[in-house]
Amino acid sequence: MSATTTLTARALLLDMDSTIVNSEAVVERCWRRWAAEQGLDTDEVLKVVHGRQGWATMAALLPDRPMERNLADNRRMLEQETADTDGVVPVPGAPAFMAALAGLPHALVTSADVPLSDARMGAAGLPMPAVRITAESVSASKPDPEGFLKGAAELGFAPEDCLVFEDSEAGIEAGRAAGMRVVGVGDRAAAFAPTVQVRDLTQVRIEAHPDGTIAVHLTEGAPETA
């Protein structure tokens, strides 16, 4: 059985990886390579990489490691990820979802930098929002709320009027810390208590109201079968 929840907002703030763009294959390739170089358990590393900037993940995994090494490895990994778009595709429903947002207030809020976000959105064939908050835009990585707060400010809306779409623990924590409601996208998100969780963006329908509000209709649960 399925049920529909409707949330109303004035602006939407969208994470990129695993929320609108499926880049899991690239992320896994790059982080498995880095984990092997460090002698770390790759499966354990992959449990914590999602949502944060790379240097922040490295600092969490190797707390005694000099930050200069984390920053250097992060720069190298960003270059590798930007060059590797094999398997990067839109999350199911993302093209229609992004088309429905055309002309409505929305922003990309990602831990990727500008070149990586360009590469992945391009590979997935998705339009880049006019407002984009990237790694270069913030001083702190998710789960710090800075990125989402900046996105809301650039769009000109109060945090409580914004709705976040996220997949990761760090991202969902960041959205909540910003005082925003969070739609969790994908199975991973369900464990981190988003406001509402959907399997993918095929379960999301956007409706623009004349007063400027955006109704976001979310179908939870498995689709009904005949």
Give the residue numbers annotated as catalytic, written as ranges: 15, 17
Distances (CA, A) of 92 to 12, 75, 155, 176, 192: 18, 30, 26, 25, 21
Residue 30, token pair as written in the block: 């790059």
Structure tokens at 12: 């939407």
Catalogue the E-assigned strands of 103-213.
106-109, 131-133, 162-166, 181-185, 196-198, 204-208
Vertex 15, ends 212 and 125: CA angle to 5°? 90
Cα torsion 96, 102, 107, 112: sign: positive
Burial label, 108 (beta-carbon count in 10 A; 0-12, 13-18, 19+): buried
Cα gap 185→202, rounded to integer Å: 10
How far is residue 70's CA from residue 48's CA, in Å, rounded to a whole number? 15
- Please state, in angstroms and rounded to a whole number, the distance separating the CA atoms of residues 94 and 201: 6
